[in-house]
Amino acid sequence: MTKTLFITGASTGIGAATAHAAAKAGWNVALFARSRDKLDALAAEIGDQALALPGDATSYDDQAQAMQKTVDHFGRLDAAFANAGRGLDTPGTEAGDPEEWRSLVDLNIMGLLYTAKAAIPHLKPHKGSIVLTGSAAGRRHLKGSIYGASKWFVHGYAGNLAEEMREWGGRCTVIAPGMVDTPFFSEAKPDKLKPEDVADAVMHALQADPRNTVLEIHLFPTN
Ligand SMILES: NC(=O)c1ccc[n+]([C@@H]2O[C@H](COP(=O)([O-])OP(=O)(O)OC[C@H]3O[C@@H](n4cnc5c(N)ncnc54)[C@H](OP(=O)(O)O)[C@@H]3O)[C@@H](O)[C@H]2O)c1
């Protein structure tokens, strides 16, 4: 039985690398992000194992409809990767922009909750998994980081969701990367983690024996 993974933020960076890794491991992948052109190109590279589903993660309806299309197309959903996220142009509380905070909360917190809520009814029959992209910034205090605080939410929620999913044999993992060389940053970070490193961690959690819930993977560039 071919398993299916739904990925938010699949158009670039960690999400796109995870799509490649999962397809290589034999999974079908449903690719969700706003950039239709990038999703179509990625789906064409991967082939029949991929389905491009353009949508906005800050809309519960967009995510719920995309998951239903995933199940209609591939027949089932075994895992969801809530990975879409953004940073802030203006850091700190004193200098920060409340409207920018709202956009961040809508995506990094509400969008992630929507992924989990929309996925659970499909995952439950297969004792499926949810993986959340947290961050090293969600494990330690960084001066004025509201982005980091949104990832503290992800880490706190991940443990609580793991407890909720355990009741029906489901598993939840939070992945906490340090700096990764992705379009998240405007300049390249060639000596930091590659998105493929994070994809490996996601696949480790998803492919662990069902008796084993991998609660958290924290990975960091060696330098
Ligand atoms: N790079 C790092 O150092 C690092 C470290 C720790 C954690 N993270 C986290 O890793 C996750 C992925 O980031 P990345 O580094 O891979 O950066 P990225 O390449 O910028 O990826 C962000 C993804 O989120 C999607 N996205 C943004 N807004 C969206 C929306 N409203 N609806 C749907 N999709 C949306 C983007 O696609 P569209 O623009 O096409 O929608 C893109 O696919 C984020 O949660 C980030 O906070 C990154």
| pLDDT value of position 193 | 97
7, 60, 86, best to mutate for ligand 1 pocket (most atoms within 8 Å of CB):
86
CA-angle at 24, arms to 23 and 29, nearest 5°: 5
pLDDT in tens, 80-105: 999 999 999 999 999 999 999 999 99
Report how far residue 84's alpha carbon sits from residue 7's, in angstroms, rounded to the nearest whole number: 8
Question: Which residue, 15, 22, 47, 43, is CA-closest to 111?
Answer: 15
214: left (phi over 0), alpha (psi -120 to 50) or beta: beta
* 114 tagged catalytic: no
> Residue 174 in contact with residue 216, Cβ under 8 Å?
yes
* pLDDT score at 27: 98
Tokens 């906490």 appear where?
Answer: 176
Place of tokens 């947290």: 134
Which residues are bridge partners to 53 per DSSP?
Answer: 32
Q: Which residues of the chain have pLDDT under 50?
A: none
Residue 19 Cα to ligand 1 midpoint, Å, equals 14
Backbone angles phi, psi at 3, to 5 degrees: -85, 155
Ligand 1 center from residue 211 Cα (angstroms): 30
Q: Quick one: 219 exposed, middle or buried, by C-beta within 10 A (0-12, 13-18, 19+)? A: middle
What's the pLDDT score for residue 41? Answer: 98
Residue-level pLDDT at 109: 98
Domains of the chain: 4-219 (3.40.50.720)
Choice from 11, 67, 88 to test ligand 1 binding pocket (greatest atom count within 8 A of CB) = 11
**Model pTM greater than 0.85?**
yes
Write down the pLDDT at residue 177. 98
